[in-house]
Structure 1
Amino acid sequence: MSLDTEIRVNSLGFAKPESETRVVVAMSGGVDSSVVAAKLKREGYDVIGVTLQLYDHGAALAKKGACCAGVDIHDARRVAEEMGFPHYVLDYENIFREAVIEEFADSYLGGATPVPCIRCNERVKFKDLLATAKDLDADCMATGHYIQRFDGDAGPELHRAADANRDQSYFLFSTTPEQLSFLRFPLGHLKTKDETRALAREFGLEVADKPDSQDICFVPDGNYAGVIEKLRPGAAEPGEIVHADGRVLGRHDGVIHYTIGQRRGLGIGGLSDPLYVVRLDTETRQVVVGPKEMLATRTIPVREINWLGDAPFTSQGEWHLSVKVRSTRPPREAVIRPISETEAEVELLTPEEGVSPGQACVFYAPDSSRIFGGGWIHTGH
């Protein structure tokens, strides 16, 4: 064996042949994870596909076109058969309900706007599934997420995807350094989604033209309130719609039907100036509305911080980074002041509108694609 052969590092970063590198691929049944599995198998890796059943597919919570639904399990299994690698379906329904759905319901009832996809990655896919991958003696676990992982001087780093329109870093900020050491993201370097679909066609996969899932998997047609009422009967108690100056403007059928920053569908027509939901008071069951300028926020309390910087989070009095407070918004300059290893006060240099408890505040390097982690926005109480 030549020296070149001995030290060659494969595409997943291991100094051994692909055939001796076992990789578990988390397969949702969509085109992205299917391409990852097919690509790695084609390259000669020892691939094992794993699909999670996350909820009862016959229940009213399930919807056509969401990830992890019955048809997706079938699609993932078919890809495995076509490409010739083993595939397992794991029943994670109870874990998913306890770790994701129940908190989603409680957060909504508390007036927050939760992001269950982040909790699913954090508490199910990158925790229990990752542990299962290790039990299968895998060298690593690969997913179809659009994000990049690079080996830096101090260890693996998380970076935004090459395609800014597909970047999923906001939903993966809570990935720990230990998890990052074991994870691989083979699609993060692709420039467009078209490249992924072209690969699917090249591999002869029937999912090549399958539509992307858009909504939260257990929320039919984006009807959050309907799901909450199903999970928490009687949760939609009526109350008052109140102006910030104290005037009662109308009635509502439940705080769960409203979100911070909402303008349409408030049920208080006939007013000359547009009003927005500026606060949800679950104790008094009041929806508080006001002018747009009341939505502007400069200081954000953040907790449950996952820090991905090289130096300890509390080693500096403040960090000058950029932050995202919604997945659809660009990063904005901010000063992050640590309170503890998991808490901070974030000061935005330019105020943001519609900052809501329950959303994530994700930290980015201002001058590179690197992600420095993030935390959860709360009320400060």
Structure 2
Amino acid sequence: MTETQNTSRRPGALIAMSGGVDSSVAAWLMQRDGFDCTGVTMRLTRNEAVNTEGLHTCCSERDIEDAAEVAYAMDIPYEVLDFTADFQERIIDKFIRVYEAGGTPNPCIDCNRYMKFDHLLRWAEAHGLDHVVTGHYARVEQDEATGRWLLKKGLDENKDQSYVLYNLTQEQLAHVRLPLGGLHKSEVRAIAEQQHFVNARKHDSQDICFVPDGDYARFMEEFTGKHYPAGDFLDVGGKKVGTHSGAVRYTIGQRKGLGLAMGAPVYVCAKDMQANTVTVGPESELFDTIVYANEVNWIAIPELKGPLRVTARTRYHQTEQPATVYPAGPDSFRLEFDQPQRAPTPGQAVVLYQGDVVLGGGTITQVAKG
């Protein structure tokens, strides 16, 4: 290719099209801005056998049809890539392992890390495309002073998805475009209506794609062929107060569905997976001040060398809380909140912020009262 041809080539963008309104508008914005776009949908599960009618899930056959129709309307190439085998190994199998170990997994974060921004980036590079584009509500910018790529919150506080993107590496951020980061959801829907997209009024996906009815324990039993047996409910003093239907069915902080009459509200405070016991107690038992995390990914800094003041979320839509983060090893940190937090849970992500910038984050391994 000659230099003249190279400089005249329009930049190429792989659009990760989920079938929803957000990724469709992201595709339209990139095409408007002069990019050669190729739409791609990842087939992650064979859930056509699952009744998803009326459920707010993603990755279904209907979603693929909607994505294909939008791509056709925009006159851009479109492909469906089958990653079902890798999705089972990297996402579903881990989901089951974490629950069986007593944690609460976050498969959407793992999907972003191992599937969307790994497989798609490599596919884009192999096909001469410069960027991977998604419909996430977050922003990517380069720090002029340090040269590092930064991940920032989306301007629509109600839709900000920076929490689920904290695992993006510098290499990935350099090639990622998030065109919705500066928009509000109402503006995105308006664009979709103007373009007459078939999914302009489609509901947002809310459920785990491979557990569309939300009954993850039943899914695990059907998927693995295992039966998770009943066991003892214990109070905080270790006394049996009832019988549960399998420890994997309960999450820390849960109140509903316990079936216990103890004279006052009780919550799941702890689980012992080996003994198959679930400890319940008053809500005051749920509050912890210290969180330990591993599998850490730093974005705004190359590493943590000493204590830093931050704000942090231990759940997706939690209001950030002030804290101090300390190094705790090559791939871990200790986070001390100014005030005790309700039910930080092993397996979930803890994401650290400084203003609207994502400093980094990790996976919660244990918690302590402090």
- Whether the TM-score (by the shorter chain) exceeds 0.5 is yes
Q: 1:171 aligns with which of 141, 144, 164?
A: 164
Post-superposition shift, 1:39? Answer: 2.2
For residues 275 and 173 of structure 1, do their structure 2 counterparts lie closer, same or farther at Cα, with a shift above 3 Å needed?
Answer: same
Could you give the per-residue CA deviations for residues 286-329 of structure 1, whole angstroms, max 9, x where no partner exists?
A: 0011111111101111000001123x3232x2111111001121
TM-score, normalization by structure 1? 0.91
**Does 2:256 correspond to 1:264?**
yes
Mapped partners of 2:27, 2:326: distance in 1: 41
Q: Deviations over 1:128-155 (max 9, x none)?
A: 1111011111111111000011121222
Structure 2 residue ranges without an equivalent (≥5): 1-5
Tell me whether 1:72 sits opposite 2:63 in the alignment: yes
Which residue number corresponds to residue 189 of structure 1?
A: 182
Residues 1:141 and 2:132 are matched in the alignment: yes
- 1:279 and 2:270 matched: yes
Q: Where does residue 225 of structure 1 map in the other structure?
A: 217
Larger deviation, residues 60-69 vs 142-151: 60-69
- Paired residue total: 361
Q: Does 1:362 align with 2:351?
A: yes
Give the secondary-structure state (helix, strand or coil) at the position aligned to 1:209. coil
Q: Supply the AA of the counterpart residue of 2:46.
A: D
Contact 1:22 1:45 (8 Å CA) reproduced: yes
RMSD: 1.8
Distance 2:228 2:79 in 1: 40
Q: Deviation of residue 223 (structure 1)?
A: 1.2
Question: Aligned runs of 1:81-100 on 2, under 5 Å?
Answer: 81-100=72-91
- The 5 Å alignment of 1:109-148 reads 109-148=100-139
Question: What is the distance in 2 between the residues matched to 1:112 and 1:157?
Answer: 30
Structure 1, unaligned stretches of length 5 or more?
1-14
Change (3 A) 1:249 1:61: farther
Matched, 1:372 2:364: no
Alpha-carbon distance, 1:62 to partner = 5.9
> What amino acid sits opposite 1:203 in the alignment?
Q
Aligned residue runs from structure 1 range 1-381, under 5 A: 20-60=10-50, 64-153=55-144, 154=146, 155-190=148-183, 192-269=184-261, 271-310=262-301, 312-315=302-305, 317-365=306-354, 368-379=355-366
Which whole-Å CA distance do the structure 1 matches of 2:324 and 2:109 have between them? Answer: 24
Hey, what's the Cα distance between the residues in 2 that align with 1:33 and 1:214? 15
Q: How far is the alpha carbon of 1:109 from its aligned partner?
A: 1.1
In 2, the alpha carbon distance for the partners of 1:36 and 1:104 equals 29
User: Which moves more between the two structures, 63-72 or 132-141?
Assistant: 63-72
Give the whole-Å Cα distance in 2 for the aligned partners of 1:147 and 1:93. 27
Q: Secondary structure at the match of 1:85?
A: coil
Distance 2:149 2:308 in 1: 20
Q: Is the 8 A contact 1:20 1:46 kept in 2?
A: yes
| More deviation, 223-232/345-354 | 223-232
